[in-house]
Amino acid sequence: MHADHAHPDHAHPDHAHTEHTHDGDAETAHLHPDHAHTHEGNVDVAVWATRFTLLSDPHRLEILLVLHQQPGIFVGDLAAAVGRTETAVSQALRVLRQQGWVSSTRVGRSVGYRLEDETVHRLLHWIGAGHIPSDGPA
């Protein structure tokens, strides 16, 4: 288990997944962690404000918490875990995927999702989110 309890002020967004697209959504534009700092090394307030706006949606935050605890979870299981429809969860996942925060993997007819953004991962730990222990060998 990793003992690093990084404070978000010290998070290094350059460790995050870089594959992403932007659809022009004003709420989520330029949220990818590669854009979190200006060229002068100062914190980009607009990027972080927009990032926190995205995180402030309780449904997206619930989805991120479940993805954090259960990497690779399928959409139907994720919808059941957060008490939402698959359509609502899929829409939220689309936004998160476009920002590079989550990735998807097709397994047969199902699609599994996992958290990819290291800065978001650190933020979730910072607010107290833990991991569910795996059943596999230690």
Neighbours of 89 (CB within 10 A): 25
- Quick one: pLDDT at residue 135? 54
The domain segmentation of the chain, as residue ranges, is 24-126
Give CA–CA dist 71/86, Å, rounded. 17
- Quick one: pLDDT at residue 132? 73
Confidence (pTM): 0.65
Give CA–CA dist 74/30, Å, rounded. 27
For domain 24-126, the question of CATH label 1.10.10.10 is answered with yes
- Quick one: pLDDT at residue 134? 59
Can you say whether the dihedral through the CA atoms of 84, 86, 92, 97 is positive or negative? positive
- Quick one: pLDDT at residue 78? 97
96-128 residue pLDDT tens: 998 889 999 998 999 999 999 898 888 888 887
State the DSSP string of 29-46.
Answer: TT-SGGGSB-TTS-B-HH
Give CA–CA dist 10/125, Å, rounded. 13
Residues of the chain short of pLDDT 70, as ranges, are 1-41, 133-138
